[in-house]
């Protein structure tokens, strides 16, 4: 047989080693015996092959001729590879040396082939026993190398083949047990490997989903502790990471099945996934299903979340009543700072909930928490009107209802606290450093929905257009919600007791003159092509993206070649935000400076950068007058970059504040 190795690698010496070095290495290899289970015949064949290689490499003339042959093979552009022809009687010894020479996968494949008919050895012979032992050891070594290369599925395939071979032969029970344990250890990595593949790889992704279900079942559910090899402190960050690779429908299906087995955490996650799907795809029926799940759960402290779901279904009065019953004093104070209109306060909280806890965390979902666009959708309007007719709900006419809304106020709130809103222990779904997505904010984590902690890459909270005229024929509740959502754009609205400033009747004051028209310029694009970039190179790529983004929002045209530094998602969000500004006759001036950047993940295909930013912005109307500002603040964002071809491109942004 031909052994795919040369004399240097078989003996384990460098091509520069002299004769004395060759002989010292020979003696060391002869003294260092392999696994003790091999027969004397195999060990003798191994020693004879080592001595043959040492004899050739220590003979100057023979070595020179051999090195010339190797040089000739190298000139064939890889079409020919060096190999050693060995006698059949030395086959097992040669395969053993091949494994020792750093080629365990080749040794496993050749040993497996030798154990198949018609060349399989006599059943029960010493040669069969040696080949079986060698196949098992080579399989384990090959799987270890593939795991180090992060080729987890290939490692698992090798282990499965080795197990099948040893089980068929009925040999090496200890090796089979070791291989099985190694295969179980690889399961989480295989799940990540398979689910991170493109959505078109349907067979591989389905296998990944099945493995994920097996993993959860082995634990006894999301909250279980039945897998000693995968305790909660390891499973929780894995689960947070895996969610980002699942589509919204995959999450709905998985969590619904697990919830049917009694998992409270899965039931809540199914509620969140249904809400995300219903809002992003404009399917209120799914939000109604999510509301039903949350009501049926019987959990305490979910009234504020139920208020959000009622609001998204156009049930404004019910939403206000739920919020009134369940909101803590801290949440009430936060909401009161967002709007003087009670319905506007609900819209603010709902927007914050959507952007922080509902919409992130799905592979195929990119949606803005835009309540105006949602309630302006014809399908949403049709659903609300249909429910109004079915339930016989009646409202005041739109003008009267709008007038009463301006003078109404929430009744006093009960301070029930939001701490009971956390998912059931022991499954920690609060997100954070593990890279997960919090299902909802704690009371001390509620933030401004217009201050989303990001540079508007993912979810720019810009209300696009006022309610469309055709909508006014719908339910009055929708009109009120739309009006409240639209009013949230006025971040700096005066308190009710203070008179509103008179509108200007002359040109802008000298302190805020209209800027002179400026010529457009071509924004520079500098792709990052290094195979393993460092933090400084990633920082320059991010600065390039932020500069381009600032230029586009300031009125510059979208530059050619932007897809060389950003994927479709971030580019589409940027283009959408700019179109909204154009429709309103506005521009933005962003000031984003990177204070610090570190790489929390730096792989061959994916980089995650944790970035500290100093950020502020100004919104200008068509005359150049500043109509809205965001004071300077510090943000902490996570930026994900993926390698596509020879370039690194921005793939996603996540607020870490």
pLDDT tens per residue across span 123-139: 667 888 999 999 999 99
Q: How many domains does the chain have?
A: 3
Q: Is 240 within a domain?
A: no
User: Are both 63 and 145 inside the same structural domain?
Assistant: yes
Q: How confident is the model at residue 431 (pLDDT cuts 50, 70, 90)?
A: very low
User: Are both 419 and 547 inside the same structural domain?
Assistant: no
pLDDT, position 479: 55
User: Are both 568 and 475 inside the same structural domain?
Assistant: no
Reduced to 3 states (helix: H, G, I; strand: E, B; else coil), residue 376 is coil
Give DSSP secondary structure letters for 76-103. Answer: TTTSS---EE--GGGHHHHHHHHHHTT-
User: Are both 127 and 40 inside the same structural domain?
Assistant: yes
Q: Is 626 within a domain?
A: yes
User: Are both 481 and 539 inside the same structural domain?
Assistant: no
Q: For residue 643, what is the enclosing H or E element?
A: strand 626-644
- Specify the residue for token string 């939001």: 418
Q: How confident is the model at residue 37 (pLDDT cuts 50, 70, 90)?
A: confident
Q: Is 257 within a domain?
A: yes
What CA–CA distance (Å, rounded) separates 189 from 148? 12
Indicate if the pLDDT at residue 472 is higher than 60: no
- Do residues 603 and 618 lie in contact, with contact meaning Cβ atoms separated by under 8 Å? no
pLDDT, position 141: 94
In the predicted model, what is the mean pLDDT of residues 7-22?
92
User: Are both 154 and 281 inside the same structural domain?
Assistant: no
User: Are both 571 and 479 inside the same structural domain?
Assistant: no
- Per residue in 160-215, pLDDT tens? 999 999 998 888 899 999 999 999 889 899 999 899 999 999 999 999 999 999 88
Q: Is 615 within a domain?
A: yes
pLDDT greater at residue 57 or residue 468: 57
Average pLDDT, the chain: 79
Of the three residues 487, 508, 523, the one that is the final residue of a domain is 487
Q: Is 217 within a domain?
A: no
Q: Is 216 within a domain?
A: no
In the predicted model, what is the mean pLDDT of residues 251-258?
94
Q: Is 625 within a domain?
A: yes
Q: Is 530 within a domain?
A: no
CATH of the domain at 635: 3.10.450.240
Q: How confident is the model at residue 538 (pLDDT cuts 50, 70, 90)?
A: very high
pLDDT greater at residue 456 or residue 44: 44
pLDDT, position 258: 92
Indicate if the pLDDT at residue 146 is higher than 60: yes
Indicate if the pLDDT at residue 477 is higher than 80: no
User: In the numeric block, which tokens belong to residue 330?
Assistant: 């801290």
Indicate if the pLDDT at residue 68 is higher than 70: yes
pLDDT, position 569: 83
Q: Give me the percent of the chain exceeding a pLDDT of 70.
A: 79
Q: For residue 294, how many C-alpha atoms fall within 13 Å in the half-sphere facing its CB?
A: 27
pLDDT, position 607: 93
Domain that holds residue 598: 535-655
User: Are both 371 and 474 inside the same structural domain?
Assistant: yes
pTM above 0.85, yes or no: no
What CA–CA distance (Å, rounded) separates 130 from 107? 13
Indicate if the pLDDT at residue 485 is higher than 80: no
Reduced to 3 states (helix: H, G, I; strand: E, B; else coil), residue 609 is strand
User: Are both 164 and 251 inside the same structural domain?
Assistant: no
Of the three residues 454, 470, 487, the one that is the final residue of a domain is 487
User: Are both 283 and 342 inside the same structural domain?
Assistant: yes
- In order of 395, 398, 427, 585, 656, the CA distances from 624 in angstroms are 42, 35, 51, 10, 33
Smallest Cα–Cα separation from 169: which of 105, 235, 103, 116?
116
User: Are both 452 and 543 inside the same structural domain?
Assistant: no
- Do residues 649 and 565 lie in contact, with contact meaning Cβ atoms separated by under 8 Å? yes
User: Are both 47 and 179 inside the same structural domain?
Assistant: yes
Of the three residues 461, 487, 513, the one that is the final residue of a domain is 487
User: In the numeric block, which tokens belong to residue 489?
Assistant: 């754009």
């Amino acid at each position: 047989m031909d052994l795919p190795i040369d004399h240097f690698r078989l003996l384990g010496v460098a091509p520069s080693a002299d004769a004395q070095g060759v002989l010292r290495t020979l003696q060391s290899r002869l003294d260092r015996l392999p696994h003790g289970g091999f027969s004397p015949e195999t060990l003798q064949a191994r020693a004879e092959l080592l001595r043959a290689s040492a004899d050739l490499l220590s003979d100057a003339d023979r070595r020179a001729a051999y090195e010339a042959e190797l040089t000739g093979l190298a000139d064939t552009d890889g079409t020919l590879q060096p190999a050693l022809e060995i006698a059949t009687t030395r086959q097992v010894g040669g395969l053993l040396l091949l494994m020792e020479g750093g080629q365990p996968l080749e040794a496993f494949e050749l040993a497996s082939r030798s154990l198949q008919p018609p060349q399989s050895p006599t059943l029960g012979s010493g040669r069969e026993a040696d080949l079986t032992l060698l196949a098992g050891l080579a399989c384990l070594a090959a799987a270890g190398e593939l795991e180090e290369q992060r080729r987890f599925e290939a490692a698992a395939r090798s282990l499965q083949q080795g197990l099948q071979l040893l089980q068929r032969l009925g040999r090496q029970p200890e090796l089979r047990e070791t291989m099985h344990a190694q295969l179980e250890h690889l399961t989480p990595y295989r799940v990540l490997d398979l689910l991170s593949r493109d959505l078109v790889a349907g067979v591989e992704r389905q296998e990944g989903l099945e493995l994920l279900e097996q993993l959860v079942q082995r634990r006894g559910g999301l909250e279980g502790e039945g897998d000693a090899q995968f305790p909660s402190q390891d499973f929780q960050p894995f689960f947070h990471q895996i969610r980002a690779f699942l589509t919204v429908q995959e999450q709905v299906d998985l969590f619904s099945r697990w919830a049917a087995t009694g998992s409270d955490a899965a039931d809540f996650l199914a509620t969140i996934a249904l809400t995300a799907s219903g809002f992003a795809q404009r399917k209120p029926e799914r939000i109604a299903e999510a509301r039903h799940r949350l009501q049926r759960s019987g959990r305490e402290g979910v009234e504020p979340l139920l208020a959000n779901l009622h609001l998204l279904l156009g049930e404004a009065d019910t939403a206000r009543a739920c919020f009134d019953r369940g909101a803590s004093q801290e949440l009430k104070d936060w909401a009161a700072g967002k709007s003087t209109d009670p319905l506007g306060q609900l819209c603010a909280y709902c927007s914050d909930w959507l952007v922080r806890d509902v919409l992130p965390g799905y592979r195929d979902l990119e949606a803005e928490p835009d309540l105006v666009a949602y309630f302006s959708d014809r399908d949403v309007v049709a659903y609300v009107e249909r429910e109004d007719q079915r339930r016989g709900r009646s409202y005041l006419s739109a003008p009267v209802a709008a007038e009463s809304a301006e003078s109404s106020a929430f009744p006093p709130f009960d301070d029930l606290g939001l701490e009971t809103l956390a998912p059931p222990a022991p499954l920690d779904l609060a997100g954070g450093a593990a890279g997960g997505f919090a299902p909802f904010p704690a009371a001390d984590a509620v933030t401004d929905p217009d201050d989303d902690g990001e540079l508007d890459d993912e979810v720019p909270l810009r209300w696009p257009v006022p309610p469309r005229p055709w909508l006014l024929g719908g339910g009055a509740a929708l009109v009120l919600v739309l009006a409240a959502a639209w009013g949230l754009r006025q971040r700096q609205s005066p308190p009710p007791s203070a008179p509103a400033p008179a509108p200007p009747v002359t040109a802008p004051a000298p302190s805020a003159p209209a800027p002179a028209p400026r010529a457009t310029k071509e924004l520079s694009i500098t792709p990052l092509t290094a195979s393993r970039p460092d933090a400084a190179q990633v920082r320059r790529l991010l600065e390039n993206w932020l500069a381009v983004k600032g230029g586009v929002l300031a009125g510059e045209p979208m530059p050619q070649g932007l897809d060389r530094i950003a994927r479709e998602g971030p580019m589409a969000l940027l283009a959408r935000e700019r179109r909204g500004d154009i429709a309103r006759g506005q521009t933005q001036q962003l000031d984003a400076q990177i204070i610090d950047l570190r790489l929390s993940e730096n792989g061959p295909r994916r980089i995650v950068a944790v970035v500290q930013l100093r950020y502020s912005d100004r919104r200008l109307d068509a005359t150049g007058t500043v109509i809205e500002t965001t004071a300077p603040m510090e943000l902490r964002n996570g930026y994900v970059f993926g390698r596509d071809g020879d370039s690194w491109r921005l793939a996603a942004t996540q607020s870490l504040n």
